Amino acid sequence: MTTVQIDTSFDVRTDSGGRDPDTHSPTLRSYHQYLWSKPLPDGRPFDLVATTPGAYLHHRSTVGEFWLASDSVMQTFTHWEVTKRLVAELPDDYVDWVRTITYTIGGMLIFPGNRVDGKMTINGARGFTRRIADRVDLTLECIRFHYRGEPSPLSAVLARYGDFFDLFTDFEGYVEFFLLEDLMTSDGGVRFFMPFDGFASPSVPRDLETYAELLRRSTDFVEARNRRIAGWVASPARGPGRHIR
């Protein structure tokens, strides 16, 4: 048995040996296992194990079998060639801070990591779909559309993993399970990081004002989600220092 304490300020790049923390940070994996091993909205248990060969995290029970992988969902565009000139106009210490905070647990999610029929996973499709550009706000809008049965740029890939999304009953259940409430508006819509008028809107910032606002909203969300995670971990229902196998 291992005791897990969640440090929401921990930069998961620091223990990944210079490699992708989504794969190589043991702290991040233990955080994911701890946070998302809990009852589903309908009360059924959803315990994740980290010892299944070849799996990042794994669940198998009467609700189904799932192979889960981590994804750093906060896209800051600090390494994109198309936004290089915008990054250069910002202070270096601010850019470093943005990169650091978005690599805390508040900037991380899990999605199914197994390929279905040899096709792209959700993680891959988010990055390769230009109208999404790896942004978590646009991804969440696609997930909202999935639950409504409406088309989006990620319709095909989300449908391939429909059994995973069925676990959470509906969109509200998904948002609450993964503590994403701070990415929602009061009327149940998604709180976008850039002006949004459907998926024809630009997904990548083109001017400094828009870019700076995207970074502000992104970091505000990660900070808010980190506070929500810390509060949830400390709540009597969960309790700090829970043991995981």
pLDDT tens digits in sequence order for the chain, 245 residues long? 456 789 999 999 999 999 999 999 999 999 999 999 999 999 999 999 999 999 999 999 999 999 999 999 999 999 999 999 999 999 999 999 999 999 999 999 999 999 999 999 999 999 999 999 999 999 999 999 999 999 999 999 999 999 999 999 999 999 999 999 999 999 999 999 999 999 999 999 999 999 999 999 999 999 999 999 999 999 866 644 444 44
Neighbours of 45 (CB within 10 A): 12
Q: Is the dihedral of CA 161, 162, 168, 171 positive or negative?
A: positive
Q: Note the pLDDT of residue 244.
A: 45
Which range marks the domain in which residue 164 is found? Answer: 2-229
Is there a domain that residue 145 lies in?
Answer: yes
What is d(CA 106, CA 8) in angstroms, rounded to the nearest whole number? Answer: 7
User: So what's the pLDDT on residue 4?
Assistant: 76
234 in a structural domain:
no
Give domain status of residue 204, yes or no: yes
pLDDT at residue 1 in the model: 42
In a domain, 208, yes or no: yes
pTM: 0.94
Classify residue 147: in a domain, yes or no: yes
Closest CA to 65 of 178, 161, 170, 179: 161
Q: Tell me whether residue 243 is in a domain.
A: no
Q: What domain count does the chain have?
A: 1
Cα separation values, 97 from 9, 125, 220, Å:
12, 27, 12
List CB contacts of 167: < 8 A, sequence separation 6 or more.
Answer: 40, 46, 63, 64
- Predicted confidence at residue 188, as pLDDT, reads 92
Indicate the length of the chain as a whole number: 245
What span, in angstroms and rounded, lies between the C-alpha atoms of 120 and 178? 23
**Beta carbons within 8 Å of 176's beta carbon, 6+ residues apart:** 41
Residue 211 falls inside a structural domain:
yes
Domain assignment present for residue 215? The answer is yes
Nearest to 31 by CA among 104, 134, 113: 104
